[in-house]
């Protein structure tokens, strides 16, 4: 009996090992047989609604197919790109619930491989959206080196049509702007929007050194980024058909920590005059922040940070022209109260 039991145990162990090998081999073989995902999404229009009693537990239950950290990819085909959705965030819990509950199904209908990152600013009180997007790019790139496409997305804006294909351009000198027609502006282009939803490849974002870190409060950072694209001969692809490119924006009162920056246009004009390649000295390469925590929640990856306002303020002094520093007095003389709001640390 003993001689019979030992071979049986050995046989079971060996058989289990072979089963694992075959399962692994079949999985690899299966993936090789998969076709590439088609980017053509169903031509459905969606009326974006915002239920008053939305709760986290319901949002999570509605999206149980999403992996921890806000990760999802299709099983039936191979996505063309691997992307990160970067959301700058603070004190918008309800908006974030709406966003996740709406956008996860939207992205999945397009059969995308994606991960959602929420970048939250703890300090200072004054909001710096651009720096948060730079941080999101940096952290996401470090966590997943295979990410190719980065979509910088406001938390309060929603695509109404599945034909708005979320992807980065195949043209190595082109970025994609999606949110050109917004209900807040009656779906017109009276205001040329540069923010909202923008897709940039890793290479192009590095090429322009990301966003400027000098914009505190609301406004200006998106226009600055557009100027960086122009300075590097990068074109912006915009939607020309308002019927298929509509967005809904949540109506809300401006946050106390994100007041309008009335000097936003002065910043870029003065910097460009002083140094045509100023962007090389302000952006990804001058990020200064404290990382408090990275946590994977069921529907997104949370990155909690504080910014060093004093370092960013001083970064103006480091802008170079012909290899020489611009004197501090000159900078602040030419940029009258460029940091219009007192940045409290």
- Residue-range definition of the domain harbouring residue 247: 56-334
Query: For the residues 234-249, what does the mean pLDDT come to?
Result: 87
228 Cα distance to chain centroid: 18
Asked if 210 contacts 137 with a C-beta cutoff of 8 angstroms, the reply is yes
Q: Would you say residue 181 has pLDDT above 70? A: yes
Residue range 313-335: mean pLDDT, rounded: 40
CATH number for the domain that contains residue 90: 3.90.550.10
The reply to whether 1 falls in a domain is: no
- Residue 128 included in any domain: yes
Q: At what angle do helices 264-274 and 221-231 cross, to 10 degrees?
A: 30
In a domain, 6, yes or no: no
Q: Residue 98: name the closest of 164, 153, 136 by CA.
A: 153
Distance from C-alpha of 160 to C-alpha of 287, rounded to nearest angstrom:
35
Closest among 238, 240, 225 to 169, alpha carbons compared: 238
pLDDT at position 316 is 46
Catalytic residues: 154, 156, 218, 221-222, 249, 252, 254
Residue 202 has pLDDT above 50, yes or no: yes
Band of pLDDT at residue 85, cut at 50, 70 and 90? very high
- Give the total number of structural domains in the chain: 1
Q: Which residue has the higher pLDDT, 117 or 2?
A: 117
The mean per-residue pLDDT over the stretch 5-17 comes to 47
Whether the CB-CB separation of 82 and 147 falls below 8 Å is answered with: yes
Report whether pLDDT(157) > 90: yes
12-26, 202-216, 279-293: range with lowest mean pLDDT: 12-26
| Percent of the chain's residues with pLDDT above 70 | 69
Residue 29 included in any domain: no
Residue with the larger pLDDT of the pair 111 and 244: 111
Lowest mean pLDDT among 23-37, 55-69, 211-225, 246-260: 23-37
Which one is predicted more confidently, 250 or 18?
Answer: 250
Is residue 292 helix, strand or coil?
strand
51 lies in some domain: no
pTM: 0.79
pLDDT computed for residue 27 by the predictor: 44
Give domain status of residue 20, yes or no: no
Instruction: Give domain status of residue 49, yes or no.
Output: no
Q: Is residue 345 part of a domain?
A: no
Least confident of 99-108, 189-198, 293-302: 189-198
């Amino acid at each position: 009996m003993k001689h019979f039991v030992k071979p049986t145990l050995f046989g079971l162990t060996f058989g289990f090992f072979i089963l694992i090998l075959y399962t692994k081999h079949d999985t690899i073989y299966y993936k090789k047989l998969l076709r590439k995902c088609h980017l053509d999404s169903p031509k459905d229009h969606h009326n974006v609604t915002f239920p008053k009693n939305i709760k986290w537990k319901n949002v999570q239950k509605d999206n149980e197919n999403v992996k921890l950290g806000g990760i999802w990819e299709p099983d039936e085909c191979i996505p063309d790109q691997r992307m990160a959705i970067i959301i700058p965030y603070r004190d918008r819990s309800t908006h974030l619930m709406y966003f996740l509950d709406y956008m996860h199904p939207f992205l999945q209908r397009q059969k995308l491989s994606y991960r959602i990152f929420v970048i939250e600013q703890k300090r200072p009180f004054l909001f710096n959206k651009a720096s948060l997007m730079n941080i999101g790019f940096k952290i996401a790139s470090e966590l997943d080196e295979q990410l190719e496409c980065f979509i910088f997305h406001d938390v309060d804006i929603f695509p109404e049509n599945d034909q708005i294909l979320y992807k980065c351009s195949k043209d190595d000198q082109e970025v994609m702007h999606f949110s050109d027609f917004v209900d807040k502006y009656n779906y017109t282009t009276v205001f040329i929007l540069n923010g909202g939803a923008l897709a940039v490849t890793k290479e192009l974002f590095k090429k322009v050194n990301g966003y400027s870190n000098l914009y505190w409060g609301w406004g200006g950072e998106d226009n600055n980024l557009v100027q960086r694209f122009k300075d590097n001969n990068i074109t912006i692809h915009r939607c020309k058909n308002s019927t298929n490119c509509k967005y809904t924006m949540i109506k809300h009162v401006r946050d106390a920590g994100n007041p309008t920056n009335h000097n936003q246009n002065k910043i870029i004009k003065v910097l460009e005059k002083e140094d045509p390649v100023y962007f090389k000295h302000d952006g990804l390469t001058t990020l200064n922040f404290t990382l408090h925590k990275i946590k994977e929640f069921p529907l997104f990856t949370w990155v909690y940070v504080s910014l060093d306002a004093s370092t960013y303020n001083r970064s103006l002094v480091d802008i170079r022209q012909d290899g020489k520093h611009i004197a501090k007095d000159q900078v602040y003389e030419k940029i009258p109260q460029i940091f219009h709001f007192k940045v409290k640390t």
